[in-house]
């Protein structure tokens, strides 16, 4: 006995008996969602100019950003300070709320969704010491007690003595190797150059325009 005979078609069935109709309908729904969530932001944000206060990365900073991306820093650090009436970012000195104009040099974006560690969008303004960053990357707990950030010893090498161009890392005795000195590899120097470049404390032209618009 054919199933059609068992369950004869009823008026309401037409909608769900035609695979083609189903496929078209669900595609249209997704297309509609894409129109709202992809095409609209694309057209709105593609008109945004980089903020006059921001600057493209130098070659060294760009290499450092590649390290940041490749080592997965984004899984614990955001780069999106929130507005002062939405969280305590401002009170913690993490900087003003960020705007789309602050990100026009960033590809891929590293906004992040997790704060196992603090927001880094203005880490360069908070901590501009190369020495501090190198020590921190070599052994976070040497400068930040209680930190659970992984150590990155593979960005450094231990030498018997430092060469002429070597950047020596200051390591407290408790964390220092038994013999030799800790020297930063180029990857570590690039990464630190990027971190120090993370300074978006310039006055935001975007926010000023928005405020002006609000006042009208």
Partner 1 sequence: MTPTLATLLLITFAVSVLSLVVLGWAVWRHHMRWGPAAARVIFGPREEGIPEEPAVPAGEEKRIRPEADLDSLPEAAREELLDRAEADRSSAAPVLLFLLSSTVWLVVGSIVGVVVALKFTFPDWLTGSALLTFGRLRPIHLNAVIYGWLSMAGIAVMLWLLPRVLRTRLRGTWWAVTGGVIWNVAVTAGLIALAFGWTDGLEWMEIPWAIDILFVLAGGLMAVPLFATLKHRRVGHLYVSVWYFAAALVWFPILFVIGNWPNLHFGVEHAAVNWWFAHNVLGLWLTPIGLGAAYYLIPKVLGKPIYSYSLSLVGFWALALFYSQAGIHHLIGGPVPTWLVTLSIVQSVMMVIPVIAVAINHHVTMVGHFRALRHSPTLRFVVAGAMMYTAVSLTGSLQSLRSVNQLVHFTHYTVGHAHMGVYAFASMIVFGAIYFLVPRVTAREWPRPALISWHFWLSFLGVGLYVVALTIGGVLQGLAMMDPDLPFIESVRVTLPYLHARSVGGAMMTAGHLVFAYHVAVLVLGRGPVRQEAPWRPKLSSLSNPEIAS
CA-derived radius of gyration, the chain: 26
Closer to partner 1 by CB, 107 or 163: give it.
107
Size of the site for partner 1 (CB under 8 A): 84
Shortest distance in whole angstroms from residue 164 CB to partner 1: 27
Site for partner 1 in 86-105 (CB under 8 A): 86-88, 91-92, 97-100, 102-104
Least gap, CB of 55 to partner 1 (angstroms): 15
Handedness of CA 203, 62, 110, 124 (dihedral sign): negative
Question: Nearest to residue 194, comparing CAs of 202, 183, 186?
Answer: 186
Burial of 107 per CB tally in 10 Å (0-12, 13-18, 19+): exposed
Binding partner 1 (rule: CB under 8 A), the pick from 113, 161, 163, 212 is: 113
The reply on whether position 53 binds partner 1 by CB under 8 A is no
Task: Considering only residues 155 through 214, tell me which ones interact with partner 1, judged by CB under 8 A.
Answer: none
Q: Give me the 10-49 binding string for partner 1, x by CB under 8 A, dash otherwise.
A: xxxx-xxx-x--xx--xx-xx-xxx-xxx-xxx-xxx-x-
Q: What distances in angstroms separate CA 22 from CA 14, 50, 77, one per listed residue?
A: 10, 43, 42
Considering only residues 126 to 155 of the shown chain, the ones binding partner 1 according to CB under 8 A are 140-141, 144-154
CA distance 68 to 158: 22
């Amino acid at each position: 006995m054919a199933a059609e005979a068992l369950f004869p078609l009823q008026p309401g069935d037409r909608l769900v008996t035609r695979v083609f109709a189903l496929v078209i309908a669900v595609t249209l729904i997704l297309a509609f969602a894409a129109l709202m969530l992809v095409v609209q932001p694309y057209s709105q944000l593609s008109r945004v100019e980089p903020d006059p206060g921001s600057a493209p990365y130098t070659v060294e900073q760009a290499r450092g950003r590649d390290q940041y991306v490749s080592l997965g820093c984004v899984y614990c650090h955001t780069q999106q300070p929130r507005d002062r009436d939405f969280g305590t970012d401002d009170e913690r000195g993490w900087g003003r709320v960020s705007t789309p104009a602050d990100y026009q040099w960033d590809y891929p974006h590293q906004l992040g969704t997790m704060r196992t560690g603090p927001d880094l969008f203005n880490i360069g303004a908070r901590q501009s010491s190369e020495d501090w960053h190198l020590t921190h990357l070599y052994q976070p707990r040497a400068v930040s007690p209680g930190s659970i950030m992984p150590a990155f010893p593979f960005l450094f090498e231990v030498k018997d003595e430092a060469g002429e161009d070597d950047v020596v890392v200051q390591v407290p005795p408790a964390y220092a190797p038994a013999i030799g000195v800790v020297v930063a590899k180029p990857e570590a120097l690039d990464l630190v150059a990027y971190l120090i470049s993370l300074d978006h404390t310039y006055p935001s032209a975007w926010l000023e325009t928005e405020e002006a618009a609000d006042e009208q």
